[in-house]
Structure 1
Amino acid sequence: MAIDDASHRIIADLLTSRTGQQLTESRRWRISTALAGLFREIGIENVDQLACMLERPGEHRLATRVVEALLNNETYFFRDHAYFDTLANVLLPELARKRADSRKLTIWSAGCSTGQEVLSLAMIFAEQPGRWQDWTIDIVGTDISGKAIEQAKSGTYSQFEIQRGISVAQMLNFFDETKGGWQVCDKVRAMTRFGQQNLLDYPPSPSNFDLVLCRNVLLYFAPDVRQAAFERLASAVNDDGYLMLGSGETVVGQTDRFVSSELGAGLYKANTDSVPARKFYSRPTPAALRAG
């Protein structure tokens, strides 16, 4: 095996050990591109030099920076707008009917990146004040990337980010222009909270969500890791709750913990007839997930 191939494999294995995500050979071309900025910062020129540095003892901080750079944090407001139309016009009204007594909804966005999905959901509620008056709305966003979660917590976005997916009216109604960028307003922020977390760890509190969104995350997992992730998601959804996946994802042939919902594309409901093989109260540790 050529040195360059071995170096790419070392870095791909690091990503898998930390996150469960795979960089298959067909996708390893993006390693050098994704790490170009890090190369400049630490004064190296190529993947081989980086692999040598990572092999030295005590380079945990560098390894973390490499993983952060390799994570795909692509997102924008109301991404795949048809899905948000389904949420606003079909699913959330159905959940409102189911939760009419408690007047409380809990939502988890798993793999929320820099927070746009969470804030898009919050804006849906803010745009329907009559329907959601006196309701408690709790939207939790988690992501394995500490850098992404820092931005999500700040709620501040560049002009380019703020223009991706939202209208001028939404921008003016829900964001304030500051020296650092466009910052989400308090009435939207009050519905949200964020935390750094691996999807393969135990779900965040309250861990019995009415709706879980995990879109365009499972695509990068190996089959056994994806199955473990579905177990995590299943343990987080109420028996009458829902899971929303991305357009290129499905539960078919992947897990029996969910079945398709008649409410719309990408929506699944808990399969209450299924019995989990085992409870995942700690992170699964197949070879692919052992710490490097």
Structure 2
Amino acid sequence: MGSSASESAYRVLMGVLESRTGQTLSPNRIWRIEMSLKPVMQRHGITDLDALVAALVTSNSRGLLDDTVDAMLNNETYFYREYSVFDDIAATALEQLRKVNAAQRRITIWHCGVSTGQEAYSMAMLLAEQDARWAGWQVDIVGTDVSRHAISRARIGLYSQFEIQRGLPVQRMVRWFDQADGGWLAKAEIRRRIDFSVQNMLTDRPPLSRPADLIFCRNLLLYFSLPMRQKAFARLRAMAAPHSFLVLGAGETVLGQTDQFVASPRLRGLYEPADQQARRATAA
């Protein structure tokens, strides 16, 4: 990692990331810090990591701090990631939620760690294509992320040719996006369906008007230490409706991580509040 001064800089930067986001850097991501931060340093006229750390310590610039944290985050996402999960949600999970919420005719979906928004737009498109099924219902889709840059991009809804081709079938692209300068812009009808905001899931209360029926938190907790992950699961449970589903990434599990959620017996990759499943077993 270079000189001892640089090692000190790495430690400070990793501390900044964890204190601001809860995320830790795995060894294979540490070596990428300098490469990730080069554009930030160029933008702010800073020569190297040691100078960047000095500027973070002495400067009152919120912009520099936000830019630094944003650059160290992994904002990897794409449309309809793990397509089979969306199929299961459309066919089974949403049907379950319709039955549970039939009296109030409301459903709330929270995308936690939404990054640049593709996942929330995937859900908005899926629901828009079932408009008749949800006529008379209030469907709230909320997307939150700690990255200001990512949320800014998500709100705009403009994606490059590369981004639009990652997971998005051509017929959906043509139906829900317009070609624009710089790529493809989500139609206003889809953008209006989603409320994006900057939130830290460990410390901020998400802008939900009621407990969430469906929570996406995919490939975010991978970057948390175990204590932070346990705290995150407790936060997710606190925000979840009694009859709800949690969607994690394909490589994630609740086993050994939390007792707040258990695997859904019916839907692979989806989880349910443990207390709800226990009540159902007792009733049976």
SS at match of 2:58: coil
* Residue 8 (1) aligns with residue 21 (2): no
Map residues 92-103 of structure 1 onto 2, 5 A cutoff.
Answer: 92-103=94-105
Distance 2:246 2:259 in 1: 13
> Aligned in 2, Cα 1:273/1:120: closer, same or farther, shift over 3 Å?
closer
**What is the match of residue 236 of structure 1?**
239
Give the residue type in structure 2 aligned to 1:10: V
In structure 2, stretches of 5+ residues that fail to align are 278-284
**What is the match of residue 110 of structure 2?**
108
Name the % identity: 44
SS at match of 1:272: helix
Contact 1:112 1:143 (8 Å CA) reproduced: yes
Please report how far the alpha carbon of residue 42 of structure 1 lies from its aligned counterpart in structure 2 after TM superposition.
2.7
* Between 175-184 and 231-240, the greater mean CA deviation after superposition: 175-184
Report how many residues are paired.
274
TM-score, structure 2 normalization:
0.90
Q: Which residue of the other structure, out of 193, 204, 207, is the alignment partner of 2:207?
A: 204
Please report how far the alpha carbon of residue 88 of structure 1 lies from its aligned counterpart in structure 2 after TM superposition.
1.4
**What is the match of residue 32 of structure 2?**
30
Please report how far the alpha carbon of residue 198 of structure 1 lies from its aligned counterpart in structure 2 after TM superposition.
0.4
Distance 2:276 2:152 in 1: 39
1:11-69 CA-partner distances (Å, limit 9, x unpaired): 11111111110013442101011112112223334322222322324344322210011
Question: What RMSD, in angstroms, separates the aligned Cα atoms of the two structures?
Answer: 1.9
1:156-188 CA-partner distances (Å, limit 9, x unpaired): 222222121111110111112233532212332
**What is the match of residue 151 of structure 1?**
153
**What is the match of residue 173 of structure 1?**
175
1:228-284 CA-partner distances (Å, limit 9, x unpaired): 11111001111111111111211111111111111222211112279xxxxxxxxxx
**What is the match of residue 270 of structure 1?**
273
Higher relative helix content: 2
* Residue 253 (1) aligns with residue 248 (2): no
Contact 1:203 1:233 (8 Å CA) reproduced: no
Distance 1:120 1:13 in 2: 34
Contact 1:112 1:141 (8 Å CA) reproduced: yes
In structure 1, stretches of 5+ residues that fail to align are 275-292
Please report how far the alpha carbon of residue 131 of structure 1 lies from its aligned counterpart in structure 2 after TM superposition.
2.2
Contact 1:111 1:215 (8 Å CA) reproduced: yes
**What is the match of residue 215 of structure 1?**
218
Give the residue type in structure 2 aligned to 1:242: F
**What is the match of residue 17 of structure 1?**
19
TM-score, structure 1 normalization:
0.88
